[in-house]
Structures are given as C-alpha cells and as structure tokens.
Structure 1
C-alpha cells in the first residue's frame, strides 16, 4: 500500500490512505455519505465567473399514517445523491478544482452556545442546527488527526445504534492514516478541517435530519503538507434530554459525490456555501 510522500511538491501523488478512503467510500473523511463517508482532499482552486447549476431539492416530510419514521429516514438516507454516489469515483475530484460562482443562497448556520467533549454545540433544533453540529464534530475530530479527540467526540455525540467508531468517516480516516503510516508520531501531526459547504438532504419531523458538510482538511507532517477536500453525510437526531443534535441510529447514508468545495460539481450535487461555520 502506498505510504505518505516525504516532501511537498506540486501535483504530488495522492497519499495511499487518501486513495483508500475514496475507494472505500471514505471513511476517512471523505464522504460520509459519505455514507461511510468518502474522503477527498487537497488545495484551493482559483475562482472563475462561471455559474453553477441549481442544487437538488431538499426533502422535508412528517410521519405518515402506517409508515414508520425509520422507513422515511431510510428512504432519505438511501436516496442516491446527484452527480455522485458509487458511479463517480474519479479520485481527482478531491483535489483542488476551479471554483465557480454560486447561484444559490448561502446556508446560514446558527451559533454554538457551549462546548462539550471539545466540540462546539448548543445549536438549535433546526435542520441548520444539525448541519452545524455535524460540521463541529468534523472540526473537533480532524484537529491534528488526533484519534483520542475523535473518540471523545464520537463517544459524547453518538446515540446507541449509530455507526460505530471505526465506521464513522472522520474517525475512520484518522485511524486508517496511522494504520498505513505506523511510524508517524501523532504528537507532531498538525491538521485542521474547514467546513466550506453544507447540505440538508432531508428531514423527518423536527427531530431528525440527514445533514452533509463539504470542506477542506489541511495537514502537515515532517515537511509533507496537503489540502484535501472531504465531505461527510450523517443521520442526525435531536436528543431532548441533552438538548443537542447527535449522530443518530442507522447505517451510513448513500455516498455524497467526490467534489472539491465550491467547484461546479459540488453545486450540482446540492451543496451550498456556509456562513457562521463552527470552530
């Protein structure tokens, strides 16, 4: 299996752990819909004046007679996403691509009111709040690719029946990186995740939302640095006792497409630029 490159160079080959994530469906940050997520990464693109197509319609539904909420949730989670899913496995899509002018309104995220387990939280009981919470979980988990921080975030925010620690995109990615690069000293790793786009794929009632985030991970280690686009889609459920959004029960949703944030493909898939990203 390919190992991490030793030095940073233009047009550097994709690290083996990144390629694995893409093929696997992410796992590593890369897509939680990335159902398991699939991952993408690497550097920024230059902006152009081209306009992007309109995003896919978001599904909002409430419980129907003789139909369980879980059946509706599964229907939303399993619905293929435009411009992606398993048919789009071009690994270059997670590398920097030219950015285009968005023609859709920004997705304005609410502000957090507190921090728990190193994760910004306290977002309101709205679909936008669910997106903000998923973005905050990714921010905390990708911070320096710290496996312990990711485990703490997952433990505090995963409901019973949610995808396991080893299958949640963000933690799976960090774990896979160190498995592929056993000589890496985790204390010297530096990494950050910046949420750039979000998507509300659908909601059932006011307590369940399929949320997605698309952003960039910048990581550096021993002179090797890269920016990579990554996405994560997850079932999110409101916990009335804890008054916060949590990773909900159920398997990973259908993969999101491999896209660079703000490239034309990302907008066709339905992603919208974010305002008020958590940190």
Structure 2
C-alpha cells in the first residue's frame, strides 16, 4: 500500500488545539483538522516550533542506484520535513526569499470518473495527475467514490480501504458529524493545488510526486487548512496512475508561501498555458 502507518497527535490533543473554533462551524473545523491528522506525526525527537522543524533526509543522486526497485524504495521511504506546530497547516510567516515555481501542464482530456487527464509523461505531468485525483476525492468527500477513484487510478494492487485518502475521507466525515459515508448536501469542500515538489524519479515512467493542497470547507462557518500528500506515480499506457508498491513517507502540511513551506521543499503551483 502507498501509505505509512500514522502516528497521530491523538484525537483528544487535536480537538484541544481546535477547541478555540467555537460556534456552529466547529464540526467542519474539526473535520479539516482530522483530515491532516495523518501527516502530523507524534513520534518527533523533540517538540519544535513553527520556525524550527526536524530536517528531511536529503536524497543525493550519487548515493542512489541508477534504476530499479531499490532506488524507488529509498526515494519513497526518505523522511521529509516533519513539523510539530499545529499552526503550520493554517498560517505562517510569509517567505522573504523567492522560490522557483513549478510550471504545471493543463489536461487535454478526461479519464475514468471524469477526472482530468492527458498530462505529459514528465514529472510535472505526474504532479498534475495526482492533484486532479486528490481534488476529485476531496470535493466528492464520499467513501464509495474514493474507492472507485483508487480502483480506476492506481495499478490495482492494493485495497482502497487502506489508501491514505480513504482514511482522510472517513475521518473528515466522522468529525464533521455527517450521516453515512457521503457528505451531506449542506457541506461544501473544495481543494486547490497551491504547491508541489518532485521527491524523486526512476526513468521516465516513475515519479514520487507531492502536492500541497489548500482546502476550504463551509457548513455554516468557513475554515481553511493546507494538506500535503505524496504518492508514487507510474506511467501505464497513456496516463499516470498511483503505484502502491512501496510505502511512502508522509508529506509536510505547511501553509503555502511561508518560510516553512519553502524549507519543506514546496514550490508554487502555476499553470503552464
């Protein structure tokens, strides 16, 4: 499966963090918090603030095998920046330095379940496809739809119930007090890609792609957070799909455009028209 076992902050602790969000919008705010729960790891060597974080493992190209499964495993398992400050996914100091943006291609068609596709066989194309998949899952906010998306947009070697995004959807629906496995009509959730990064590649047909999404939810009140998601993407036929062969380390969820986001490797997302 393409997930790592989450060592979360704990639901009680996260609810305490979110307790300041009073009023009728609390359920949605809590849901957004649970949505990123899996990337807020609790097994940190020390408590860190918003201006400090444990450093990621730097992947040196010379130290990696030229190609093959071992290379892919090392790229997938390498630790990314870990952040222990609960404010990092919704606010932060705007970065003073410039970060080179990513030029993301536009889709040329639609694929299964109406998800945009037709992206080129490039690392940027893999990023764009993962973002399109994530947007469909988040805005649908439905367990059955998430299962369908995973079956249609992966190599089909893993149970959709174990996909990290399935867990995210169920945690959100639970925290937002929705009835059943599908969001109710009054709950609106949107996702917009804000940044991305290529963690590594293996030839032209395998990319470890990471997308930083800005999430927005509205029930009665509104809430916004950032969520980072990584998946291995493999080129199959004429499109990119998720490769669940190797567990993937979680991505840092940092507010776009901040110093911490830049340190985490996130590059602004711009469309290449």
TM-score normalised according to structure 2 size: 0.75
Partner of 1:200: 198
Residues 205-232 of structure 1 deviation map (CA, whole Å, 9 limit, x = unaligned): 11101000112111111x1321111111
Call closer, same or farther: CA 1:262–1:98 in 2, change over 3 Å: same
Aligned to 1:25: 39
Partner of 2:212: 214
Q: Does 1:78 align with 2:77?
A: yes
2:226 aligned residue? 229
Shift of 1:56: 9.1
- Secondary structure at the aligned position of 2:72 is classed as helix
2:116 is aligned to: 120
Write the distance in 2 (CA, Å) between the matches of 1:207 and 1:141: 24
Does the aligned pair in 2 maintain the 1:5–1:224 contact within 8 Å? no
Q: Unmatched 5+ residue regions in structure 1?
A: 32-54
Deviations 1:151-177 (A, max 9, x none): 332221011335x42343333212222
Query: How much has 1:178 moved relative to structure 2?
Result: 1.8
Task: State how far apart, in whole Å, the 2-side matches of 1:159 and 1:186 are.
Answer: 31
Report the structure, 1 or 2, having the larger helix content. Answer: 2
Tell which has more relative contact order, 1 or 2 (C-alpha 8 A, sep 6+). 1
- The question of whether the paired residues in 1 share the 8 Å contact of 2:39 and 2:253 is answered with no
Shift of 1:111: 1.5
Pair 5,145 (structure 1): closer, same or farther in 2 beyond 3 Å? farther
Contact kept, 8 Å, 2:92 with 2:260, in 1: the verdict is no
1:194, 1:215 within 8 Å by CA — same for their partners in 2? yes
Give 1:21 shift: 4.3
Q: Which of 154, 157, 179 pairs up with 2:153? A: 157
Find the residue that maps to 1:100 and give its secondary structure: coil
> Does residue 265 of structure 1 match 2:260?
yes
- Say which is worse superposed, 247-256 or 265-274, in terms of deviation: 247-256
Residue 147 (structure 1) aligned to one of 136, 143, 147: 143
* 1:70-109 equivalence runs, <5 A: 70-81=69-80, 83-84=81-82, 88-109=83-104
Query: What is the alpha-carbon root mean square deviation over aligned residues?
Result: 3.2
1:276 and 2:268 aligned: no
Relative to structure 2, which stretch is displaced further, 93-102 or 109-118? 93-102
Is residue 183 of structure 2 the alignment partner of residue 188 of structure 1? no
How many residue pairs are counted as aligned between the two chains? Answer: 238
SS, match of residue 87 in structure 2: helix
If the length of structure 1 is used for normalisation, what is the TM-score? 0.74
Deviation at 1:277, TM superposition (A): 8.2
Show the counterpart of 1:7. 24
Give how far 1:76 is off. Answer: 0.4
The alpha-carbon deviation at position 204 of structure 1 amounts to: 0.6
Work out whether residues 89 and 258 of structure 1, in 8 Å CA contact, stay in contact via their aligned partners in 2. no
